Amino acid sequence: MPGFDKRGAYSLTPTPEELAKYDFNDKSSLAQTVWNVNITFIVLVGVVVSLRAFTRASVTGRFFIDDVLAIFAAFFTIVSATMSLVATRFGLGMHVWNLTPPLDNIMENVKHCVQLMFVAHVFYAAATALTKMSIITSYLRIFPHSTLRRVLYATGAVCIGIGISAIFATIFQCSPVQAAWDFTIEDSQCFPFVNFLWANAAISIATDFILVVAPLPYFWSLNLPVRQRLVICFLFGVSLVAFAASIVRIVTLRDVQGIDVTYFLVSPLNWTIIECALGIICVSIPPMRPLLKKIAPGFLGSYVTRNTGARTGSSKVYADGSHDPRPQQRTQQEIDEQMNREMDRQLEEFEMTEQNGKESDTSESELVEINEKRKKKRDANPV
């Protein structure tokens, strides 16, 4: 029976030691797990990215490059997941010894299964790179800080490089190319692709960590109450979930080698889709905030109000910015609404996006000065 050798290619001659590791009476199957995981995340990715696009088109009224990248990443993820579903027709999820005999038919099924996984990994590499570039381009649009931008540019270069290298490494892992799935080809040459997967996963985890951690201090520096800053950090920090999925995926790669490829490929493939899908879902949550506010305004409001009691005395602020010196009694709902408007205004200003969609040319020092003036004005006229 075929199996992966140490090069990452297939071997038709497993050793007796390798055969001794398997229970050939095991009739279990993971095919249903493949369907459950992939269908679930195909639906989730489709719904979330559709809501993101709807929010940009109908609520925000503007599309950005990170939205386009997220849409393409979602498409590639769905294609990759679909390849896994199709592969179950050829035995993905079953033990290789349980595939329909004779031996020639088993080999043909394994060949089709691996060929589909070959295609799936190409789309996975593209989806991962696009998802990370979506995160990076959104941060570059938001943050003017030169130090962070340099980190983002460097991380973006690494993500593009590792994405391109993963695509080419997958396609050209063997010579001729078809030897990657057709193990009957003689005199083929393959490099140890499994080792590349380990290295790729390690670099991917490192970039995930940078993209999650690096922006948090800048979000925390926003001139907002603590609860509002916690909400913003949470919205942009949920990518830790995808980061955790990346770690689990790298652990499952140890099972890729061996003759029982149709069974042991399931776990790394499932975690690959989970990692990709969670990354897209997490990066799509912050842009959906305007829609969430319309659907459930009280949900966000309950997290962003100061503990000032049900009613607070303050001066009334008119549309032109003038103040009524007479104290006004304001309900907690009015305070919540004003605090939400303030957070929206600061986020919009923080994004530095003009009405026509172009980036603002305001320098970092000017932004700091504007922020300080606003803070002094608010301290002089507290809510």
Q: What is the mean pLDDT of the chain?
A: 75
155 touches 136 (CB < 8 A): yes
Q: Which amino acid is at 173?
A: Q
Work out the burial of residue 293: count CB atoms within 10 Å of its CB; fewer than 13 is exposed, 13-18 middle, 19 or more buried. middle
DSSP 298-312: HHHHTTS--S--S-E
What is the maximum alpha-carbon separation in the chain? Answer: 91
Residue the block writes with tokens 């939400």: 340
Q: In the chain, what are the domains?
A: 3-289 (1.20.1070), 305-380 (no CATH)
Q: How far is CA 348 from the centre of its chain?
A: 23
- How much is the average pLDDT of 286-301? 70
Read off the tokens for 184.
């009957």
Q: Which amino acid is at 54?
A: F
Beta bridge partners of 4: 10
Going by pLDDT thresholds of 50, 70 and 90, the confidence category of residue 22 is confident
Rg (CA), the chain: 26
Between 351 and 106, whose confidence is greater?
A: 106
- How much is the average pLDDT of 189-196? 85
Quote the pLDDT of residue 86. Answer: 95
Which of these, 325, 356, 381, 360, lies nearest to 140 by C-alpha position? Answer: 360
Model pLDDT for residues 61-77, shown as the tens digit of each residue: 888 999 999 999 999 99
Q: Which amino acid is at 34?
A: V
> Is the per-residue pLDDT at 121 higher than 50?
yes
